[in-house]
Amino acid sequence: MTLFTGCSDKADDTPTKSKVNSNTEFDLVILNSWVMDPESGLDAIRNAGVKDGVIGLITKEKISGKETIDATGHVVDPGFIDIHSHISDFPFGQKLSLRDGVATPLDMEAGAYPVDAWYAKLEGKSQTNYGVAVSAAAIRETLSNPDYNTSTASILLDAFDPHNCSDFNMSLTEFLPSPEQIDEMEAMLEKGIQQGALGLGAVPGYMTRGTTSRETIIWQKLMGEHGLSTVLHGRFSGISRLSPKFSEFQRHLTANTVAA
């Protein structure tokens, strides 16, 4: 059981801090649950009282309300954050996330482009919190494939949804950009950040013949300037090739160092 509600300023049983007390008639009480609160470090059996959609009290004391749930054997916790989600921008995917206790699925690896279009399609419609990285792969596809025309702003939906007619053709994987195109990439990435991207998503694991060192340096430079993260799907990810996989990790550390 995951309780998707906000917390008051002090959601515990400290009498001098809590805005409500155990005598309050709550809208909902959840009894005998294992409460996990990463912010305060609480990890214990407690009763939770909800008033006006907000957790008003978490306490060892007996509490009552209009509705009661006996959560013995279940966990009550804030909604989880998943930064590696590819199902955060369509209803069925969001339902799956919520069933897993994820209230904030973020697509930080494949990402989106254009970023503002991705946010616009979810505004006022989403069942979850949402956020996305600007997609280096989608930008590469945009520059390498003149027929590419996304209506989803999601490179994964464009690639795998059989009902999608975007003319996506995976040209991003082997595209070797010119210096001028790399400059254009940088401007497009910057635009995505300005439109609210939470970071940069890059999948060199699917761009094994195309990604250049100059690109990776630009990724790290931009994210460093904006205080954001680069989220990578590295090359050579098979478990039987540990040395090349480590070399890929070193490559991006080097790019980060050069950018710094």
107 token code pair: 């697509």
CA atoms within 13 A on the CB side of 141: 27
pLDDT at residue 249, rounded to an integer: 60
pLDDT at residue 10, rounded to an integer: 46
CA atoms within 13 A on the CB side of 47: 20
92 token code pair: 């069925």
pLDDT at residue 133, rounded to an integer: 98
How far is it, in rounded angstroms, from Cα 122 to Cα 88? 10
Residues forming CATH 3.20.20.140 domain(s) in the chain: 80-259
Quick: pLDDT tens for 164-190: 899 999 999 999 999 999 999 999 999
Domain 80-259 listed as CATH 3.20.20.140: yes
pLDDT at residue 11, rounded to an integer: 47
8 Å CB contact between 133 and 113: no
pLDDT at residue 235, rounded to an integer: 63
pLDDT (mean) for 32-61: 93
Quick: pLDDT tens for 80-138: 999 999 999 999 999 999 999 999 999 999 999 999 999 999 999 999 999 999 999 99
Which long-range CB contacts under 8 A does 213-218 form with residues at least 24 apart?
A: 213/251, 213/255, 214/179, 214/182, 215/136, 215/177, 215/182, 215/185, 216/251, 216/252, 216/255, 217/255, 217/258, 217/259, 218/182, 218/185, 218/186, 218/189, 218/259
**Cβ contacts of 14 within 8 Å, gap of 6 or more:** none
How far is it, in rounded angstroms, from Cα 127 to Cα 104? 10
Q: Both ends of the chain: CA-CA distance in Å? A: 44
Q: Which residue has the tokens 């710094």?
A: 260
Query: Residue 16: is its pLDDT beyond 50?
Result: no
